[in-house]
Structures are given as structure tokens and as C-alpha cells.
Chains A and B, each alone.
Chain A
Amino acid sequence: MSARWHKLYGWLDERVDIDELVRFMGKKYVPVHRHSIWYYFGGVTLFLFIIQVMTGILLLLYYKGSEQLAFESIQFIMSKVQFGWLVRSIHSWSANLFILSAVVHMFSVYFERSYRKPREITWLTGMLMLFLGLGFGFSGYLLPWNELAYFATKVGTDIAGVVPLLGKPLMLFLRGGDEVTGATLSRFFGFHVAVFPGLFTVLLVIHLLLVQRQGMSEPQGLEEGESRQTMPFFPNFMLRDILLWLIVLNVLAILAVFFPWELGRKADPFASAPAGIHPEWYFLFMFQSLKYIPSRVLVVDGEVLGIGLFGAAGLAWLLIPFWDRKSARGIRNRTISYIGIGVVVYILLFTILGWLS
């Protein structure tokens, strides 16, 4: 068996000089320490993105992005297309795991201060990809054109409309009119399968190139002293990556089969909103926070204030490599840890509250 692999490797090496490539990759090392586990979440996120692209393309073969046919086409995919149910269910589950994995990856990078010089652009591209991921989620949620998605999109775009000055034009742009209609579905479909993937690919290429170029960042605390252990990126780290991907694939398959993603009822714009509409879980903490803000705070509209605060917080988070000067100089900045823990606790708490309400 081994001889046969050697023979195949030799055959390939003779033709494309694969040995050189392997040696090149072998020169890249991954630090080994007690936080190494977090390195894998970038790879898992990438894997889930690849699954999204593949299952998305398969869904695209049958999906029809129109008000009249969207729901029926998904119904068709789930009941008539061979393994259509599996593809759709995996696409939905993978989308959620993708966001989860990306969020974990982002927080691990944050807590390890891996965004500091020289990796500011890697952080920026990563954050932008996370925002795009949320955009993927928001736009994809509407595509089945079911009741829950319809009203959640209505509420979501309503919230966007509250933003001073830009809000109303933004809402009109998102909806393609005053109301959530077939026009909204068409443009969300366009964003979901063309605009966002295009932008995402560009950002992803930059992100991955930078990771390859700059290597893995080491956590700040390990830089001084401590014996540094490393592991070759290829094949050791990559094989571990693949091992984790297989486990994630297994989890995905189990979720898709045991908890198939429901389709619900077709959206009826003239029906009253069903009880308990809520956005996807990753928007829940913001949605729940907006509920707690009074309708007026001093002279400011409560919703405007909430959206303003979230916008400012998001921007500050995005620009963290540029204002966390201490970490950039290699000084331990505990404030960053406290802020991070506060944000994580806040998000968890409000997500749970949103889920329970």
C-alpha cells in the first residue's frame, strides 16, 4: 500500500516537482502553545464557507428568486430533488455554524491581540468578512419567502430605516420600495449570490495571503520567555485542520438529518405578523437591546440611540488595531481584556434573554 502511494507521489513529483512545493510549505511553522486550539477556528470557518459555496451553487440549480416561485421552489428542492433536502438543510445549518465559528475566531484573535501590528489589515479584512457573513445571513433568511423570514425582514429593514438621514434611503434601497415585496426578494437574492460572494472572495484572498505571508501570530504573553514550540504548517497543522473539518462535517450531517431546517408557511404580505417573530440568533442581542431602550432618551429617539450606539461600537471594534496603542507596543493592555469579556457576557446574556422572551 505504502509502496503504491510512494509510486504515485514519485509519478507526480517527476512531472510537477511537487517535492519543492512541499518543502516550501514545510518551512511555514505554527506556534504550539496552550492557546493553539483557537488557530483552528479560522480553518473551520473557511471550511464552512466552502460548504456554503458548494451547497449554494447546488441550490441555485433549482431555486427561483421570485415572490411567486421562491417558496414553491424550495418546497420542490426539499421534496422532489434527489438529496435536495440534505443540501438545503446543510446550507442552512452550515450558515449558522459559519457565523458561530467566525465569531469565535474573531474573539480569539481579539483576546490574543493578534490584530496588532503588522496584522491590522488581516483584522480589518476578517471583520469585514464577518459583517459580510451577517449580510449573507440576513439576505439568505428571506430567500425561502416564508412567513417568519418575511416579517423578520420587515422588522430588520424597519430598524435600518430608523438611522438618521441615511436610514430612509437605505431602507428603500434594501426593500426596492416602501414595503417588503418581490422586489426585495430579487435584490436580496442578488446580494446573496453575486454581490456578497464577490466581495467576500476578494477579502478572503487578501486575508489568506496575509496569513500565509505573515504566519500565525503568537499570543502576547508568550513572546517574552517561555520555550517556543512550533509545528510545521504542512503537513502537521493542515492534517489537523482536515481532521477537524471531518468532525465538523459529521456534526453538520447529524444536524441536517436530525434537525432538518423547517420551511414553515409561505409569506402572506396581507396576513398579520405571526406571534414570536425574531431575527436569526446572531442578531438577537441587538434586537433584544433595542427592546429595552426607552422610546425616548432625553431628546433622542430610543431606537436611533440604540442603532447609533451599536454602530459606534461596531466601528470602534473594527478599528481596534489603530487605537489599542499599548498592545501595538507590546505592552499588556488589560482594559482590552475587560472590554472583551464585557462584550462577550453582554452578547451571551442578551441573546439568552432574546431567546427566552
Chain B
Amino acid sequence: MRTPALIAAVLILAGRSATAADACLTCHQGLGDKPSALWAHDVHARHGVSCAGCHGGNPAAEDMERAMSRDAGFVGKPSGDAISAMCARCHADSSRMASLGAHIRTDQFALLQQSVHGRLALDGKQRIVQCTACHGVHGILPVADPGSPVSPLRVVALCASCHSDAKYIRTYNPALPVDQLEKYRTSVHGSRNAAGDPRVAQCVSCHGNHGILSARDVRSSVYPTNIPLTCARCHANAALMASYGIPADQYAQYAASVHGVALLVKKDLGAPACNSCHGNHGAAPPGVESISQVCGTCHALNADLFAKSPHKSAFDAGGLPECETCHGKHDIAPATAAMLGTGGGSICTRCHGDGDPGFMAAAAMKRLADSLAASDSAARALVEEAEQKGMEIAEARFRLRDARQAALEARTTVHAFDEPRFAAVVGKGLAVTSAVADEAARSVAEYYFRRIGLGVATLIITLLAVSLYLFIRRLERRQAAGRGGDAGFPFMKEDTHT
């Protein structure tokens, strides 16, 4: 008898105490609804946040009318922007977060508002995404918790719930692809993620989370000039990469390469970033056989010439990656004339030995390239000399562009490894440089001709002036001797009218 009475007393006290703590939860748990069930696991519940924290009302009141009275501050179910604003009341307040023992950033709300997701939704009344769209509502878990929809292994599906929905996405941006998840699953990152590796890159690793910006926004982590550093956050992390058995020096090599300098230093957006060769959502290293195709997306002519060249079958047979064999990959240096031929720095001699036809062709092509370079410099020097002499030679200077163009064309034609074809292109350049040099030489000759001409003209004018001076003196002497300084012209018939 005493024991059941004791149990009853404990239950009553516990019930009172629970009611006193949060009558909302007690009541809703009694109803057995989903929010109260989820709330039991919610990170907020663990940190002492009550239902009234978001919904308002009086959690101490046992009477439902009083507890959910507007006078008690009950707001019900927030909707639209009020949701995020409600979250921001705590999450944008660093002191409040600290008092709850949560050491997380407090700029999420501000970032979300500035992000691409913070734009106005179709109805124009609220922003596209509220906090709850990604984090859930009553069962919010820490990001690191595998159960959270924003945890590394689940976030991909979460993003895809909108971004793979073509009908939905096109209402905001019809040009935005919707196959990111599909591509991601084919990537190294995607397959590892699917296999349960939370360390590999997923959506937020590259795009960020609350402050996601359009890839066209220069501040975005996936804007072309920012991509290499975004990838390097993981790929330059030696400890992390060691666990996958891949090197961590790609960024350092790339940054010093012709592509890296063009993109990162010269800010040339046409230059390739990591994703240009590896893909972005479907990132994977290009296979040996597809390297020339990948490089060929930009270097189309070179790739085309190479594919038709005798080297193609030889490289295929040797299992050599096409472009990479000569140019390298991440550390691609600017192509120089020294790479051609048989001298120091030659790449041809790596495979071609002295005396074989390839060796001879390489030597001949190098001679041709050198002759074009020498002819171009000579023409340039003559043009500069003519300009320094003050001659108008803008047209010849302009034509030098054709010579530069021919040199570029020759450099491309190298990839055909066809000596006569190369000679024809070089010949075109030589014709231009020769014509320019002729014109510049004529200008320089004209410069000297002008000086000689001036000398002759000056001499004639001076002789005329001296003769005139002597004539005046003779005239005035005659005048003084003849008629006391009176007027008179030497050829005048003096006796006619006087």
C-alpha cells in the first residue's frame, strides 16, 4: 500500500514539474503529434530552448487558452521571412548564443539574405529559402550529426531536392543546369561520398552554405579566378591528400603555369581553372585517351592537327598521354621555340635519336622557325629605326601583326609534324617580314634622302640669297654712283623718260 502511494506521489510531482517547465510540450506529447516527437531530438531542446522560444505563448500556463493566448505573445506557426527572422533572434545574437553554450557563427542570417537564395521568391513576398528549408523544423540536428539533412553525406540530396527539379529551377533561372547531382555521382567526390566518406567535397565544400553566390559573382568561391584556391583548400592539404594517396602540389604547379598565371595574375577569364579540365560537379582526372580532347576544347586546332599527325598512332601505341607527354599537366609552361628541334631543351629528342627521320624533320622545322623569328626581329628593328628617325611607318608597324600571326600559325602547325606544311606557313610569315623590312628600309633611306635633299635645297636657297645680297650691293653702289641714291633699276632704259 505504501509503495503504490509513493509511486503515485512521484508521478504527480513529476507531472507538475513537467507542466511547470513546458506545458506546450506536455500537452502536445499527450496528443502524440509529430512536432513534439521530433522535438525530443532537436538540438535546441537539448540547449533548453522551449516551444515558446519560437512560437511564443506562456509555457507555464496549464490552460490551453491562456498558454496560447495572443496576450501571452503566442505567434503560432511563423511563415515566410518570419521564420528566418525568428531563427535570427538567437542565431544573429552572439551573446545569446554564447549564453546557450553554442559556439557557432552568428552571421548566417546576414549571409543568407545576401546569397542567391536570399532573393525574393516568385510570390515576391518572401525570400526563396528560409532556414527551415535546409535544417528542418522541429528535429533540427547539429550539422555534424549524420542524421542532419545538411550533414556531409545527406546535403547533396538536400540541394538536389530543388536543384534537380527542372520545373522548379527554370522558374528562377532557366539556364541553370539541373544535372549536378547526376554528374556528381559520376565524380570521384560523388562516388566516395556515396560510399560514406564525409571528408570528400560535396555541394557546400565548394559553394559554401549560407552565403552561396552565383558562379558569375566575382565574390563567389566558384568564380573562375577563385576556383583554384577553392579546390586547393582540400587538394593542397598534404595530410588529407596523403590519406587518398594523391599529391598535394597541383595548386602550386598550376599557379606557376601558363594557365595559372593567365587566370590568377592576368585575370584572363578565358584561361582554364581546375574545373575546365577536370569538370566541376563530375570532377575526375581525364583519362590518357581523353587528354587531347580536353585540351582540344580550347586548343582545337592543335588537337585536330595532332589527331591527324603520325604521332597520334605512335602515342596511342605507347600508351602516352597526348598533350601531356610534351607539355606536362598542372605545370604547363609557355611553349617556346626551344622545345622544337634537336638542341638543348628539345622535347623531340626525348624519343627521336640522331639520324632518324623524326630527328631530321625536327631539326629542319627548328631551322625554319628560327629563320622566321630572326626575320621578324630584323623587320621590327628596321621599323623601330625608321620610327626613331621620325618617319611615318604606322602601316608597316601594323603589318608586323601579320608576321606575328604567321609565327603563331607556325607554332600551331608544329602539331601536324609535317615539314612541308610547316615550311609553307613559315614562308607566309617570311613574305610579310620581308615586305615590312623592305618598306622600313625604304623609309630609312628616305630619311637620308630628305637630309641630302635638304642640303641641296639649302645650298641652292643660300646661293640665291648670297647672289641677291651681292646684287643689292652692286645695285646700290651703282645707284649711289649714278644718281645720288635715287631709284633705278639696272636694266631700265635710263634715257627713255628722264
Contact = CB atoms under 8 A, between A and B. Distances in A.
- Our verdict on whether A and B bind, yes or no, reads yes
Given A22-B489, A235-B475, A75 B392 contact: yes
Interface of A: 5-6, 9-10, 13, 19-20, 22-23, 26-27, 75, 78-79, 85-86, 232, 234-236, 239-240, 242-243, 246-247, 249-250, 253-254, 257-258, 260, 262-263
Given A78-B392, A235-B489, A260-B390, A246 B458 contact: no
B457 interface: yes
Interface string B451-475: 1011001100110110011011001
Given A26-B489, A79-B392, A246-B465, A236 B476 contact: yes
Given A26-B488, A246-B461, 20 more contacts: A9-B491, A9-B492, A19-B492, A22-B492, A23-B487, A23-B497, A26-B486, A26-B489, A27-B487, A75-B392, A235-B487, A235-B489, A236-B479, A236-B487, A242-B468, A243-B469, A246-B464, A246-B468, A257-B450, A260-B390
Contacts, number: 80
Nearest to A249: B461
Contacts of B351: none
Contact of B472 (A22, A27, A85, A239): A239
Contacts of A240: 472
A19 B487 contact: no
B472 A236 contact: yes
A250 B394 contact: no
B454 A257 contact: yes
A79 B489 contact: no
B496 A253 contact: no
Given A75-B392, A247-B465, A257-B450, A6 B475 contact: no
Contacts of B487: 23, 26-27, 232, 234-236
Contacts of B486: 26, 232
29 contacts: A9-B491, A10-B493, A13-B493, A19-B496, A20-B497, A23-B492, A27-B487, A75-B395, A79-B391, A79-B393, A79-B394, A79-B395, A232-B487, A235-B487, A235-B489, A236-B472, A236-B476, A236-B479, A239-B472, A240-B472, A243-B472, A246-B464, A249-B461, A250-B458, A250-B462, A253-B458, A257-B451, A258-B454, A262-B390
Nearest to A9: B491
A262 B465 CA distance: 30
A243 B465 contact: yes
A260 B475 CA distance: 39
B392 A263 contact: yes
B196 to A, nearest CB: 59
Contacts of A253: 454, 457-458, 461
Interface of B: 390-395, 450-451, 453-454, 457-458, 461-462, 464-465, 468-469, 471-472, 475-476, 479, 486-489, 491-493, 496-497
Contacts of B390: 260, 262
B438 to A, nearest CB: 14
Chain B CB count within 10 A is highest, among A20, A235, A240, A263, for A235
A239 B454 contact: no
A5 B491 contact: yes
Nearest to A233: B487
A169 B496 CA distance: 65
Chain B CB count within 10 A is highest, among A9, A26, A27, A232, for A232
Contacts of B393: 79
Contact of A239 (B450, B451, B457, B475): B475
A239 B450 CA distance: 30
B95 to A, nearest CB: 51
Contacts of A75: 392, 394-395
A9 B392 CA distance: 47
A239 B493 contact: no
Chain A CB count within 10 A is highest, among B461, B486, B497, for B461
Contacts of A260: 390
Given A239-B472, A246-B465, A263-B392, A19 B458 contact: no
Given A79-B395, A246-B465, A19 B476 contact: no
Nearest to B396: A79
Nearest to A232: B487
Nearest to B461: A250
A254 B491 contact: no
B155 to A, nearest CB: 48
Nearest to A6: B491
A260 B390 CA distance: 7
The 7 lowest CB-CB distance pairs between A and B, nearest first, are A26-B487, A232-B487, A78-B392, A9-B491, A79-B392, A246-B465, A257-B454
Nearest to A246: B465
A260 B388 CA distance: 12
Contact of B475 (A9, A85, A86, A236): A236
Contacts of A22: 489, 492
B386 to A, nearest CB: 10
Contacts of B395: 75, 79
Nearest to B439: A79
A254 B454 contact: yes
Nearest to B390: A260
Contacts of B392: 75, 78-79, 85, 263
Contacts of B475: 235-236, 239
A85 B491 CA distance: 41
B465 A19 contact: no
B468 A254 contact: no
Nearest to A243: B468
A253 B456 CA distance: 11
A250 B491 contact: no
A22 B493 CA distance: 11
B458 A239 contact: no
Contacts of B493: 10, 13, 19
B390 to A, nearest CB: 5
Contacts of A250: 458, 461-462, 465
A235 B468 CA distance: 12
Nearest to B394: A75
Given A27-B487, A79-B392, A236-B475, A19 B497 contact: yes
B190 to A, nearest CB: 48
A94 to B, nearest CB: 15
A12 B457 CA distance: 30
B150 to A, nearest CB: 49
A267 B453 CA distance: 33
B465 to A, nearest CB: 4
Nearest to B463: A246
A23 to B, nearest CB: 6
A260 B496 CA distance: 52
Nearest to B458: A250
Nearest to A8: B491
Contacts of B464: 246
Contacts of A254: 454, 458
A253 B458 CA distance: 8
Contacts of A257: 450-451, 453-454
Nearest to A242: B468
A242 B472 CA distance: 11
Contacts of B469: 243
B207 to A, nearest CB: 38
B302 to A, nearest CB: 36
Contacts of A236: 472, 475-476, 479, 487
